[in-house]
Amino acid sequence: MLILGIETSCDETAAAVVEDGVKCLGSSLATSRELHEKTGGVIPEIAARKQVESIVPVIEDCLEKAGVSLEDIDKLAVTVGPGLIGSLVVGVAAAKSLALATGKPLIPVNHLVGHIYGSWVDAEVLPELPAVVLIVSGGHTDLVLMKNHGDLEYLGGTLDDAAGEAFDKTARLLGIKKYLGGAELSEVASECKVNDLAGKLPRPKINDEDFDFSFSGLKTAVKRLAEESDEDVSCMAREFEDAAVEVLVKKTIRASEQYGVRSILLGGGVAANKELRESLQKESSAGGFALHVPPIHLCTDNAIYIASAAFFNQVEKSLEEIAADPSLGIMD
């Protein structure tokens, strides 16, 4: 079965053709990130305008790369949220138009469920369920128990800043100017030779029984540390990264033990973080869990995992529903 997936939840316009949920035949992606770098943050209106410009060329390009035509596609899929509303409606309008014009069914996909399926596409080994999933992105930090496809239980999440947001804000207060400085902070941290600050920052909620996280206090503690200490920026970055990663890993492993799963899945932009990947791999191996981490291009936003998620969660909208519901559920 060929599914054409469309993703436009933020500043990326993406389309992909995926076969049977596991094999990517072709994918295309345009981003307006360069424009947001100039302003230091995403301006929703600008992101939405770029979505309008890019959506048709991106869909055409992905079909060409996959070597298929629209007639070959069995079903359509589109991200319906969460995300920036002005961006989301562009993808939803495009997907609805294609569904109405071709008569093909349309599957609405939740963006966060999409992130989970980065571990299914072109993977050497497919994850065994049940699994505990850690989704860490710029907007979300969630621990989810995945009992089966379509059977997810929310275990906990951030009470304030998302993990990626904490990385980005900490990068800024350490003087790292780059927009979305999370990855850059990690680069800077790798330059710290001897970390004299080890253990100086709190590990928020690390021993709490719940599966929630809190990163805003950690960010404030870095600010204080930066004011009080004359240590290298690289070691402050190292200590922040260590603290954040330690909490994420410890709570993920504890959830996996408590719920008796064999597999752990990682997803979201912060899953690109080397420390997090390595530390979670080490602790997963020690605990006897199989860890599944997507390649970097399937950690950040794309349409490949949207098409895959649609295959494994085929709750279709009929043509009547598509015609009648202008939002397809994005306003829920």
- Rounded to whole angstroms, how far apart are CA atoms 59 and 24? 14
| Under rule CB under 5 A, residue 256 binds Zn ion | no
Question: Is residue 301 close enough to count as binding ligand KG4 by CB under 6 A?
Answer: yes
Query: Applying CB under 6 A, does 118 fall inside the site for ligand KG4?
Result: no
Show the binding pattern over residues 13-42: x = contacts Zn ion (CB under 5 A), - = does not: ------------------------------
Per CB under 5 A, 87 contacts Zn ion: no
15 with 58: CB under 8 angstroms? yes
Q: What are the b/e assignments for 99-120, b being 16+ CB within 10 Å? A: beeeebbbbbbbbbbbbbbbbb
Give min distance, CB of 121 to ligand KG4, in A.
16
Tokens of 114: 């999409």
Q: Is 138 in the site for ligand KG4 (CB under 6 A)?
A: yes
Q: Which does 270 bind (CB under 5 to 8 A by kind): Zn ion, ligand KG4, none?
A: ligand KG4
Contact between 301 and Zn ion by CB under 5 A: the answer reads yes
Does 167 bind ligand KG4 (CB under 6 A)? Our answer is yes
Integer-rounded Cα Rg, in Å, for the chain is 20
Per CB under 6 A, the segment of 63-71, 87-95, 101-109, 133-141 that binds ligand KG4 is: 133-141
- Which among ligand KG4, Zn ion, none contacts residue 7 (Cβ within 5 to 8 A by kind)? none
When asked if residue 294 is in the footprint of ligand KG4 (CB under 6 A), the reply is no
11 binds Zn ion (CB under 5 A): no
Asked if 183 touches ligand KG4 (CB under 6 A), the answer is yes
28: β partners: 15
Residue 54 as a binder of ligand KG4 (CB under 6 A): the answer is no
Of these, 13, 28, 119, 137, which contacts Zn ion (CB under 5 A)? 137
Q: Report the site for ligand KG4 in 66-95 (rule: CB under 6 A).
A: none
Residue closer to ligand KG4 by CB (options 8, 99) is 8
- Per partner kind, with CB cut-offs from 5 to 8 A, the member of Zn ion, ligand KG4, none near residue 272 is ligand KG4
| Nearest-approach distance from CB 133 to Zn ion, in angstroms | 13
Report how many residues bind ligand KG4 under the rule CB under 6 A: 17
| Tokens, residue 85 | 């509303």
Write down the least CB distance from residue 320 to ligand KG4, Å.
Answer: 32
Binder of ligand KG4 out of 164, 219, 242, 303 (CB under 6 A): 164
Footprint on this chain of ligand KG4 (rule: CB under 6 A): 137-139, 164, 167-168, 180, 182-183, 186, 268-270, 272-273, 300-301
Footprint on this chain of Zn ion (rule: CB under 5 A): 137, 301
